[in-house]
């Protein structure tokens, strides 16, 4: 079958892209012993691995497009498109860049009616492919496997991750070059004698960790079942741990690394609970069923089971039990009892919330957001790759990927969590002064937007924002890295200022990123940065949602206001850092523009940050994404509790929402300009007026203190109790028993020695005494003896006669 | 290779004992030759277990070797008047554990170079210990099992009591008393079975296979009734639970570990603890399915409590070795949890038997994984202890810079203990946890929360010991990089942790059929019992009418 | 006056008591032996008298014969002891032989 072979071909390409970094990791970590410290070999290997990975991913994307005749770009109503008609056209697309497709998509969209796609991609041309790589264990009818699952989302994520990772790897060659020495001085660590800490450089180690991270991240995206996602989820977690704690000598770094991992584990706890429920009731982890190759009935996957083939959850009349269904929409039966397979509705909610708990941890959503700002202890390329573009977005990716299993209640929770997070993080970002921390909070906030989008039913909008955000945020992080290198590891913005004159490339690429995240555009023209399109899509979804559910109006108001705040703090950052006059002349004098190896990636990324979303909802990116949209999203959901808007409703309010969002963003940007660019108002005055609020925000809403008091200290106390229980109770019981045994044996000894032995001795002593006393009688005199005899006999006779006189 | 099974099994068990005998003729000053000899004997034993693996047929669920007349195992009369046989055999449950035993013994022997005191006596006791352990895993006669169980006990007592740390006498006696208490309970249960099986054609028996058949109601006219099964199960369980060890029978473990020398800690954690789990799988469950089902909930609770309690206790420790010891309590909790998730429906058949099977497999895998990872962790503690002679967690730091290879290996091993995917700890833990919801959601959630605590204490330990700028404790001058011998041990353990982690089928393949058979027969055994009760009550009500 | 059983018994008793007194009072070993003879013969008189006056028949006589023979043997042994005693102590004063004192 041709679809089989294209599926395998794609899997092979993505598999290479996935496994190459692992091989790179192995070579780099062991090669560290062979190469001199000043060798850049590790970096070249890492770049080569991820670069080839990008080429493979891109090739796979093209192949997928050709194999599916670019149905994506011809509009979503692909049912009528025959393979032959567009075959030649598809082959011609190989050499085009993204923009080319986007234009084509725009054409296709015009020819398109209002009819939205049904979400089933198996009809004309197969566009999703899945298969099994590896079995981890088989237990009767249960099997835990590693699978692959490829659709347009997977391909896009692969391409995006590998592209950004390649740029960041190249950037890191420059950024980490101070590690290329036998004697690296860490100015942040002081030894006991007061000097700076010296150590050999760890250039190779950094790149090996980065390669391991790429492997884990790509594995996560390629995963074909939720268990496998969990596996790589943990692996990216440990890579993040290693990279945050890269400067192992810094106490703050290792603490931040621990915090990141442990907070993530809290989310993973929820993830495991979700896994347990799904595993127990569905008996499979796979997203979609296995291909029925040998004519046997295919085993359905989780998505079909919960959502059937029409995107609807099959609930019974009381709405407390969900019937599990197969790919054709028939209810599944237990093979032995012939009763329908079901899952309680409440448990489906719990499972969804559980899995989303994992997403909360990984994507640093409220209430587990506290680890991400601390994670900025890692080197800046790590922050760019792991903690903004890829790993933290994995939570959003999973929320999107696992969308079919989420019930409306779970989606509403996701929306509210996202809403809280985006506001909370944005407010903190307003007062942060560390350049990386501002970006970190902005990342949390943007991730909140993505979650909000997904939770409101704007599936493609959320993931759209994921991709655009990945580009502009990694761009901004790299630019901040460039600033940090330029300023000799100074990260406090109040000491900077006016840097644009010294480092123009960094400043203006950063500006592109700032404009992109703020979502600025000139309405009515094609001049619109990527963030405009994606944030616009989310806000439009929110507006449509609010129209349907007026009770949840906050889900629209808050993101709209926050859009303004976002623009404000991002422009604040830019003005603070690059504009105006230098605030620290000594620092300023030593600032220099970064070398090409660092500014090159900035330029590449700035192109994508500006233009990756070109065409908006008719563009290539959005079309690709919405092609993978789960069944039933497009039509929306009408329900008593919460209704989700369909594509039509969103489309209707799109323009309105766009204007509102743009207005918010522009006002934010203008306020920032007035405060920090034009100095119309003095920010310090405002700060003095709101001291309480300011302190509250600077202390990050006091979450760290709260968690410390609520969890960390209590768990230490409980731990102390447990250890004390062991010492006091269990060992106490044991020692008590031993003491009792010893006492008993002491008594036993007394009894033995006093009474048992005493009796025996007494008998002996008495007999001895008697014998001794009789010794006197034994004189040895013959005549005396005779006298005794005579007297004795006489006495006997006398007694005899006295007592028995009768005889 | 066509070694006779009797010869092969006997050779596996007694090669170390032979080595001990051989060593007795050495001059006690010839330390290095004696160490080499002992190492050679452990290596030979390991080779022999590889032959066993070669002879083992994974497709055969029951005990092997199967004789031509259909009987299983090899059996020779030992004490005829009491019907005690020298009966040995292996299946998918014991083969991995035998391999683990000889493997860990070999590595721990390599780690024994650090023992300087009375080397001859140490080596002789060490080899005798290995004989005892291998015997336990291969014996199929309950009496023989019991004998090996006790044989293993004495060398351990002396190894802790003579070569241990400052409180060695206390620890050795504590260990001895606990284990002895357990084996007394086991002895009582053994005699219950012996005298309960007097109606067998051959008279009373210690044959575990025969007793299993009786216990599962497969022998006409003779059963262990409910009371006997429950009593015997509780006795056996406490006996084995002490060895595992589970909460609340675990307090001997931290003391024994802390005081024992490094290689003995490795064996203690790597192998000895597994004997408890093996006993539950081989004896307590199969012979007393009714008792096991009766106690299943308590077992799962104990397992879950062990996981959480051990993790909390580990969090509070300041002694490096004690922390690792408590992590063993936590990790072995998964074993109990996985074994006991036996849920039955109204018709007394198992509900979701595949999940139970998964739990069983996971538990068994967890035993093997813990054998590798905990032995590794103790070894890593030993390496640094040999240098600086203290174990206070607050007085380490900065080892990453001073001993980079050591830190790399240790981090790998500790991550295996943390349950990181790709390393051995993950598979067992997560499979057990996944199987638990089917039995009890609440307990499953509680047990799953262990992942947070585990991450907490392991990462905190890594931070305190390996990270940071400077070493803070005494004897800083003694910190030198690992030597090649230490590197070999550490690297082999890490490699196996990785192999088990990414290719779990290597072990699941061996144990799959045996585990499926065990679960199936237990399920059937309980149903036999329920059916018998049913027919009896019907008969009684018929009479009453 | 008819000589009856009581007379014989009286004679026997006198002989016995005389013998006992002799044994108890004599310090000479030979004297003690003579006392023994008196005691034995006192008893003999009784045996023979009872044989004569009661229905014992010849039994009394036989026992008397036994006693005479026994006395002869005893005298032989006793005289040998006396000789040895004399060899050791140069006297036959029985009060000197108190080595068996307890």
pLDDT digits (tens, 9 = 90+) for B500-511: 998 988 888 889
Contact assignment for B354 to A142 by CB distance below 8 Å: yes
Mean pLDDT of A583-604: 85
**A497 lies in some domain:** no
Question: Which is more confidently placed, B346 or A122?
Answer: B346
Nearest residue in chain A measured CA to CA from C95: A781
Q: Three-class SS of residue B85? A: strand
> Which of B 81-120 lie inside 8 A of A, CB atoms?
none
Confidence category of residue A118, pLDDT binned at 50, 70, 90: very low
List alpha helices for B197-251, DSSP H: 208-215, 226-243
> Which two three-digit tokens encode residue A662?
């743009």
**A782 lies in some domain:** yes
CA angle B278, B283, B285 (to 5 degrees): 95
Which of chain B's residues have a Cβ under 8 Å away from the Cβ of A265? 451-452, 455-456
Chains A, B: CB pairs < 8 Å? 153
Q: What is the mean pLDDT of chain A?
A: 82
Residues B287 and B215: beta-carbon distance below 8 Å:
yes
Interhelix angle A83-91/A41-67, nearest 10 degrees: 150
Q: Give the integer Cα–Cα distance in Å for A494 and A486.
A: 15
Instruction: Give C26 to chain A, closest Cα distance, Å.
Output: 8
List alpha helices for B316-423, DSSP H: 320-340, 353-388, 399-402, 404-418
Nearest residue in chain C measured CA to CA from A772: C102
pLDDT at B493: 92
Q: Give the integer Cα–Cα distance in Å for A267 and A729.
A: 34
Of A141, A189, A251, the CB nearest to B354: A141
Which of these, A625, A395, A657, lies nearest to A519 by C-alpha position? A657
* pLDDT for A90 beyond 70: no
Residues B313 and A723: beta-carbon distance below 8 Å:
yes
Tokens 């501002």 sit on residue: A438
Residues A260 and A244: beta-carbon distance below 8 Å:
yes
Residue A180: φ, ψ to 5°: -80, 65
Of A258, A273, A715, the CB nearest to B315: A715
Q: Give the integer Cα–Cα distance in Å for A571 and A568.
A: 5
Q: Give the integer Cα–Cα distance in Å for A644 and A637.
A: 5
Which of chain A's residues have a Cβ under 8 Å away from the Cβ of C95? 781-783
Which of these, A384, A612, A617, lies nearest to A512 by C-alpha position? A612
**C17 lies in some domain:** yes
CA angle A363, A365, A369 (to 5 degrees): 95
| Cβ within 8 Å of residue B542, ≥6 positions away | none
Sign of CA dihedral A471, A473, A478, A483: positive
Instruction: Give A535 to chain B, closest Cα distance, Å.
Output: 35
For chain A, percent of residues with pLDDT exceeding 90? 18
Q: Choose the most confident range, by mean pLDDT, from A63-72, A327-336, B77-86.
A: B77-86
Q: Is A19 in CB contact (< 8 Å) with chain B? A: no
> Which of B 43-82 lie inside 8 A of A, CB atoms?
none
Which of chain C's residues have a Cβ under 8 Å away from the Cβ of A775? 102
Torsion of CA C15, C19, C21, C25, to 10 degrees: 150
Q: State the burial class of residue B473 (Cβ atoms within 10 Å of its Cβ: 0-12, 13-18, 19+).
A: middle
> Which of A 707-766 lie inside 8 A of B, CB atoms?
715-716, 718-726, 730-731, 734, 738
- List subunits contacting chain A, requiring 3 or more Cβ pairs under 8 Å: B, C
Q: Which residue, among C24, C30, C39, would best test binding to A if mutated, counting the most A CBs under 10 Å from its CB?
A: C24
Residues A273 and A258: beta-carbon distance below 8 Å:
no
Chains B and C touch (3+ CB pairs under 8 A): no
Confidence category of residue A807, pLDDT binned at 50, 70, 90: low
CA angle A708, A709, A710 (to 5 degrees): 95
Sign of CA dihedral C84, C87, C92, C94: negative
Instruction: Give B516 to chain A, closest Cα distance, Å.
Output: 8
pLDDT at A113: 33
| Pick from A598-612, B134-148, C64-78: least confident | A598-612
Local structure of residue A199 (DSSP, 8 states): E
Count of structural domains within chain A: 2
Question: Which is more confidently placed, A179 or A100?
Answer: A179
Confidence category of residue A33, pLDDT binned at 50, 70, 90: confident
**A509 lies in some domain:** no
Q: Choose the most confident range, by mean pLDDT, from A100-104, B36-40, C94-98.
A: B36-40
Interhelix angle A530-548/A504-518, nearest 10 degrees: 20
Nearest residue in chain B measured CA to CA from A202: B401
Chains A, C: CB pairs < 8 Å? 38
**A491 lies in some domain:** no
Q: Give the integer Cα–Cα distance in Å for B437 and B450.
A: 15
Mean pLDDT of C62-80: 92
Confidence category of residue C42, pLDDT binned at 50, 70, 90: very high
* pLDDT for A55 beyond 50: yes
Which of chain A's residues have a Cβ under 8 Å away from the Cβ of B352? 280
pLDDT at A293: 55
* pLDDT for B312 beyond 50: yes
Q: What is the mean pLDDT of chain B?
A: 88
Mean pLDDT of B167-187: 89
Contact assignment for A140 to B354 by CB distance below 8 Å: yes
pLDDT in tens, A143-156: 888 888 888 889 98
Domain of A174? 1-76+125-224
Confidence category of residue A75, pLDDT binned at 50, 70, 90: low
Residue A43's DSSP bridge partners are none
Confidence category of residue B2, pLDDT binned at 50, 70, 90: low
Contact assignment for C24 to A786 by CB distance below 8 Å: yes
pLDDT at B378: 92
Residue A343's DSSP bridge partners are A322
Which of chain B's residues have a Cβ under 8 Å away from the Cβ of A199? 401
Q: Give the integer Cα–Cα distance in Å for B426 and B362.
A: 10
Q: Which residue, among C16, C20, C26, C30, would best test binding to A if mutated, counting the most A CBs under 10 Å from its CB?
A: C20
* pLDDT for A104 beyond 80: no
Confidence category of residue B124, pLDDT binned at 50, 70, 90: very high
> How many separate helices (H) and strands (E) can be counted in chain A?
30, 6
Q: Report the predicted TM-score, pTM, of the whole model to 2 decimal places.
A: 0.84
> Which two three-digit tokens encode residue A63?
């192949």
Element (H, E) at A111: none
Q: Give the integer Cα–Cα distance in Å for B430 and A517.
A: 40
Contact assignment for B467 to A249 by CB distance below 8 Å: yes
Phi-psi map region of B420: left, alpha, beta (phi>0 left; psi -120 to 50 alpha): beta
pLDDT in tens, B125-157: 999 999 999 999 999 999 999 999 998 888 999
pLDDT in tens, A530-589: 888 888 888 888 888 888 888 888 888 899 899 999 999 999 888 888 888 888 888 888
Residue A4 CA: distances (Å) to CA of A126, A152, A291 = 9, 16, 10
Instruction: Give A228 to chain B, closest Cα distance, Å.
Output: 10
**A271 lies in some domain:** no
Contact assignment for C100 to A790 by CB distance below 8 Å: no
* pLDDT for B123 beyond 70: yes
pLDDT at A218: 92
Residues across chain C? 102
pLDDT at A297: 54
Of C24, C32, C94, the CB nearest to A790: C24
Sign of CA dihedral A168, A173, A176, A179: positive
Phi-psi map region of A296: left, alpha, beta (phi>0 left; psi -120 to 50 alpha): beta
Confidence category of residue A795, pLDDT binned at 50, 70, 90: very high
Instruction: Give A739 to chain C, closest Cα distance, Å.
Output: 54
Q: Is A782 in CB contact (< 8 Å) with chain C? A: yes
Count of structural domains within chain C: 1
Q: Is A194 in CB contact (< 8 Å) with chain B? A: no
Which of these, B305, B352, B299, B343, lies nearest to B439 by C-alpha position? B343
Residue A308 CA: distances (Å) to CA of A312, A578, A636, A696 = 6, 54, 16, 48
Domain boundary among the residues A200, A224, A248 is at A224
Q: Which residue, among B366, B446, B459, would best test binding to A if mutated, counting the most A CBs under 10 Å from its CB?
A: B459
Contact assignment for B313 to A135 by CB distance below 8 Å: no
Of A235, A280, A734, the CB nearest to B438: A280
**A34 lies in some domain:** yes
Residues across chain B? 545
Domain boundary among the residues A224, A259, A274 is at A224
Of A775, A782, A790, the CB nearest to C97: A782
Residues A98 and A155: beta-carbon distance below 8 Å:
no
> Which two three-digit tokens encode residue A129?
């492919």
Residue A199: φ, ψ to 5°: -155, 165
Q: Give the integer Cα–Cα distance in Å for B425 and B420.
A: 7
Strand A321-323, strand A342-344: pairing? antiparallel
Confidence category of residue A166, pLDDT binned at 50, 70, 90: very high
Of C95, C100, C102, the CB nearest to A783: C95
Q: Three-class SS of residue A321? A: strand
Q: Give the integer Cα–Cα distance in Å for B20 and A450.
A: 68
Mean pLDDT of B486-505: 91
Confidence category of residue A643, pLDDT binned at 50, 70, 90: confident
* pLDDT for B456 beyond 80: yes
**A276 lies in some domain:** no
Domain of C33? 5-90
* pLDDT for A109 beyond 50: no
> Which of A 143-182 lie inside 8 A of B, CB atoms?
144
**A530 lies in some domain:** no
Residue A321's DSSP bridge partners are A344
Q: Which residue, among C25, C42, C91, C100, would best test binding to A if mutated, counting the most A CBs under 10 Å from its CB?
A: C100
Q: Give the integer Cα–Cα distance in Å for B116 and B120.
A: 10
Question: Which is more confidently placed, A141 or B317?
Answer: B317
* pLDDT for A93 beyond 50: no
Torsion of CA A414, A415, A420, A425, to 10 degrees: 80
For chain C, percent of residues with pLDDT exceeding 90? 33
* pLDDT for A117 beyond 70: no
Q: Which residue, among B255, B312, B334, B506, would best test binding to A if mutated, counting the most A CBs under 10 Å from its CB?
A: B312
Contact assignment for A783 to C102 by CB distance below 8 Å: no
| Pick from A231-240, A308-317, A469-478, B109-118: least confident | A308-317
pLDDT in tens, B249-263: 888 888 888 888 989
pLDDT in tens, B396-429: 888 888 888 899 999 999 999 998 898 998 999 9
Q: What count of other Cβ atoms lies within 10 Å of the Cβ of residue A369?
A: 28
For chain A, percent of residues with pLDDT exceeding 70? 91
**C22 lies in some domain:** yes
Which of chain B's residues have a Cβ under 8 Å away from the Cβ of A270? none
> How many separate helices (H) and strands (E) can be counted in chain B?
22, 2
Residues B302 and B341: beta-carbon distance below 8 Å:
no
Residue B88: φ, ψ to 5°: -125, 160
* pLDDT for B4 beyond 90: no
Q: Is A232 in CB contact (< 8 Å) with chain B? A: yes
Q: What count of other Cβ atoms lies within 10 Å of the Cβ of residue B166?
A: 9
**C101 lies in some domain:** no
Contact assignment for A783 to C94 by CB distance below 8 Å: yes
Which of chain C's residues have a Cβ under 8 Å away from the Cβ of A793? none
For chain B, percent of residues with pLDDT exceeding 90? 35
Q: Three-class SS of residue A291? A: coil
Interfacial residues of C (vs A; Cβ cutoff 8 Å): 20, 23-27, 32, 94-95, 97-102
Q: Is B333 in CB contact (< 8 Å) with chain A? A: no
Q: Give the integer Cα–Cα distance in Å for C31 and A738.
A: 80
Nearest residue in chain B measured CA to CA from A723: B313
Q: DSSP 3-state helix, strand, coil percentages of chain A (rounded to 5)? A: 70, 5, 25
């Amino acid at each position: 079958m041709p679809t089989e072979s294209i599926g395998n071909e794609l899997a092979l390409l993505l598999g290479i892209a996935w496994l190459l970094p692992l091989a790179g990791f192995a070579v780099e970590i062991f090669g560290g012993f062979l190469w001199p410290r000043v060798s850049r070999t590790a970096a070249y290997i890492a770049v080569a691995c991820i670069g080839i990975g990008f080429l493979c991913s891109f090739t796979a994307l093209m192949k997928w497009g050709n194999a599916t005749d670019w149905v994506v770009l011809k509009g979503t109503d692909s049912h009528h498109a025959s393979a032959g008609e567009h075959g030649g056209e598809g082959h011609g697309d190989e050499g085009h860049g993204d923009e080319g497709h986007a234009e084509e998509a725009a054409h296709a969209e015009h020819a398109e009616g209002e009819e939205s796609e049904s979400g089933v991609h198996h009809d004309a041309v197969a566009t999703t492919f899945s298969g099994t790589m590896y079995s981890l264990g088989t237990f009767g009818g249960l099997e835990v496997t590693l699978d692959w699952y490829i659709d347009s989302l997977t391909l896009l994520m692969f391409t995006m991750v590998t592209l950004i990772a390649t740029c960041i790897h190249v950037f890191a060659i420059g950024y980490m070059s101070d590690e290329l020495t036998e004697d690296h001085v860490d100015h942040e660590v002081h030894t006991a004698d007061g000097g700076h800490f010296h150590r050999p450089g760890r250039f190779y180690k950094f790149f090996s960790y980065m390669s391991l991270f790429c492997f884990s991240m790509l594995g996560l995206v390629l995963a074909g079942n939720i268990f496998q996602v969990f596996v790589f989820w943990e692996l990216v977690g440990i890579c993040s741990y290693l990279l945050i704690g890269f400067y192992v000598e810094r106490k703050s770094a290792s603490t931040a690394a621990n915090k990141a991992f442990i907070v993530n584990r809290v989310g993973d706890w929820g993830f495991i609970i979700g896994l347990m429920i799904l595993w127990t009731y569905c008996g499979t982890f796979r997203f979609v069923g296995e291909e029925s190759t040998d004519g046997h009935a295919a085993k359905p996957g989780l998505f079909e089971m919960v959502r059937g083939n029409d995107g609807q959850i099959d609930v019974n009349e009381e709405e407390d039990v969900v019937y599990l269904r197969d790919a054709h929409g028939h209810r599944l039966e237990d093979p032995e009892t012939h009763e329908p397979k079901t899952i309680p509705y409440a448990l489906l909610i719990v499972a969804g919330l559980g899995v989303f708990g994992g997403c909360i941890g990984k994507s640093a959503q409220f209430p587990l957001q506290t680890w991400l700002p601390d994670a900025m202890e890692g080197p800046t390329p790590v922050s760019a790759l792991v903690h903004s573009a890829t790993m933290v977005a994995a939570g959003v990716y999973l929320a999107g990927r696992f969308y079919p299993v989420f019930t409306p209640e779970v989606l509403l929770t996701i929306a509210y969590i996202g809403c809280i997070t985006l506001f909370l993080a944005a407010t903190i970002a307003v007062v942060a002064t560390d350049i990386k921390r501002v970006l970190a909070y902005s990342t949390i906030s943007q991730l909140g937007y993505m979650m909000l989008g997904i939770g409101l039913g704007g599936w493609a909008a959320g993931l759209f924002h994921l991709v655009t955000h990945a580009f502009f945020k990694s761009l901004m992080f790299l630019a901040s890295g460039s600033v940090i290198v330029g300023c000799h590891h100074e990260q406090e913005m109040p000491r900077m200022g006016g840097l644009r004159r010294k480092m123009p490339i960094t400043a203006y690429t950063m500006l592109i990123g700032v404009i992109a995240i703020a979502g600025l555009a000139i309405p009515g023209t094609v001049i619109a940065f990527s963030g405009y399109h994606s944030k616009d899509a989310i806000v439009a979804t929110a507006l449509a949602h609010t129209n349907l559910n007026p009770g949840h109006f906050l889900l629209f108001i808050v993101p709209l206001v926050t859009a303004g705040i976002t623009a404000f703090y991002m422009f604040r950052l830019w003005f603070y850092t690059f504009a105006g006059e230098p605030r620290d002349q000594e620092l300023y004098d030593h600032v220099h523009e970064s070398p090409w190896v660092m500014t090159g990636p900035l330029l590449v990324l700035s192109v994508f940050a500006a233009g990756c979303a070109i065409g908006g909802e008719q563009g290539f990116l959005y079309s690709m994404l919405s092609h993978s949209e789960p069944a039933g999203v497009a039509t929306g959901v009408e329900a008593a509790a919460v209704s989700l808007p369909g594509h039509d409703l969103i489309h209707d309010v799109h323009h309105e929402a766009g204007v509102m969002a743009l207005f918010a963003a522009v006002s934010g940007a203008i306020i920032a300009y007035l405060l920090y660019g034009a100095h119309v108002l003095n920010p310090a005055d405002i700060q003095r007026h709101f001291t309480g609020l300011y302190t509250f925000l600077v202390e990050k809403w006091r979450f760290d203190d709260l968690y410390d008091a609520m969890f960390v200290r209590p768990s230490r106390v409980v731990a102390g109790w447990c250890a004390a229980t062991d010492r006091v109770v269990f060992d106490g019981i044991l020692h008590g028993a031993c003491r009792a045994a010893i006492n008993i044996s002491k008594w036993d000894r007394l009894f033995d020695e006093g009474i048992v032995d005493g009796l025996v001795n007494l008998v002996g002593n008495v007999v001895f005494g008697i014998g001794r006393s009789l010794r006197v009688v034994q004189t040895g005199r013959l005549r005396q003896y005779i006298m005794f005899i005579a007297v004795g006999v006489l006495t006997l006779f006398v007694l005899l006669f006295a007592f028995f006189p009768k005889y | 290779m066509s070694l006779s099974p009797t010869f092969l099994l006997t050779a596996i068990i007694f090669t170390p004992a032979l080595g001990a005998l051989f060593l007795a003729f050495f001059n006690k000053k010839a330390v290095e030759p004696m160490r080499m000899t002992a190492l050679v004997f452990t290596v030979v034993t390991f080779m022999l277990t590889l032959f066993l693996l070669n002879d083992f047929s994974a497709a055969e669920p029951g005990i092997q070797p199967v004789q031509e007349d259909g009987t299983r195992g090899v059996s020779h009369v030992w004490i005829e008047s009491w019907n005690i046989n020298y009966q040995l055999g292996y299946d998918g449950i014991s083969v991995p554990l035998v391999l683990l035993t000889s493997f860990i013994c070999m590595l721990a022997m390599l780690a024994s170079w650090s023992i300087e005191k009375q080397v001859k006596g140490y080596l002789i006791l060490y080899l005798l210990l290995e004989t005892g352990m291998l015997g336990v895993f291969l014996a199929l006669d309950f009496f023989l099992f019991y004998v090996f169980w006790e044989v293993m006990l004495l060398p351990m007592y002396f190894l802790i009591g003579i070569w241990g740390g400052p409180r060695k006498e206390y620890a050795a006696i504590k260990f001895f008393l606990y284990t002895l208490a357990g084996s007394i309970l086991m002895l009582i249960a053994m005699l219950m079975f012996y005298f309960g099986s007097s109606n067998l054609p051959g008279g009373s028996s210690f044959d575990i296979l025969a007793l299993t058949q009786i216990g599962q109601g497969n022998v006409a006219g003779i059963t262990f009734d409910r009371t006997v099964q429950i009593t015997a199960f509780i006795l056996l369980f406490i006996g084995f639970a002490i060895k595992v060890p589970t909460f609340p029978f675990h307090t001997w473990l931290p003391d024994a570990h802390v005081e024992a020398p490094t290689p003995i800690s490795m064996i203690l954690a790597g192998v000895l603890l597994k004997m408890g789990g093996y006993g539950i799988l081989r004896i307590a469950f199969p012979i007393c399915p009714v008792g096991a089902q009766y106690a299943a909930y308590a077992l799962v609770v104990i397992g879950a409590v062990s996981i959480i309690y051990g993790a909390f206790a580990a969090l509070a420790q300041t002694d490096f070795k004690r922390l690792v010891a408590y992590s063993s309590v936590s990790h072995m909790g998964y074993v109990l949890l996985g074994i006991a998730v036996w849920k039955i429906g109204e018709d007394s058949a198992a509900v979701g038997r595949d999940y139970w099977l998964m739990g069983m497999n996971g538990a068994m895998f967890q035993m093997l994984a813990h054998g590798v990872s905990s032995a590794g962790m103790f070894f890593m503690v030993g390496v640094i202890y040999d240098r600086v002679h203290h174990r206070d967690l607050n007085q380490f730091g900065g080892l990453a810079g001073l001993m980079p290879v050591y830190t790399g290996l240790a981090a790998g091993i500790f991550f295996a203990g943390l349950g990181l995917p790709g390393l051995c700890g993950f598979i067992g833990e997560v499979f057990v946890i996944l199987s638990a919801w089917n039995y009890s959601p609440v307990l499953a959630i509680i047990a799953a929360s262990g992942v947070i605590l585990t991450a907490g204490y392991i990462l905190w330990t890594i931070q305190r010991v390996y990270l940071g700028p400077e070493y803070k404790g005494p004897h800083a001058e003694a910190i030198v990089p690992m030597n090649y011998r230490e590197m070999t041990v550490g690297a082999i353990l890490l490699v196996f942790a990785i192999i088990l982690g990414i290719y779990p089928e290597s072990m699941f393949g061996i144990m799959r059929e045996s585990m499926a058979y065990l679960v199936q027969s237990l399920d059937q055994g309980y149903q036999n019992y329920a059916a018998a009760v049913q027919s009896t009550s019907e008969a009684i009500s018929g009479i009453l009418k | 006056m008819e000589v009856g059983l009581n007379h014989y018994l009286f004679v026997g008793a006198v002989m016995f008591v005389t013998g006992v007194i002799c044994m108890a009072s004599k310090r000479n070993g030979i004297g003690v032996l003579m006392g023994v003879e008196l005691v034995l013969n006192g008893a003999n008189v009784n045996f023979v008298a009872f044989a004569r006056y009661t229905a014992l028949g010849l039994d009394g006589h036989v026992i008397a014969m036994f006693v005479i023979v026994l006395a002869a043997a005893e005298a032989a042994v006793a005289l040998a002891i006396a000789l040895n005693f004399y060899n050791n102590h140069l006297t036959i004063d029985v009060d000197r032989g108190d080595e068996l004192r307890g």
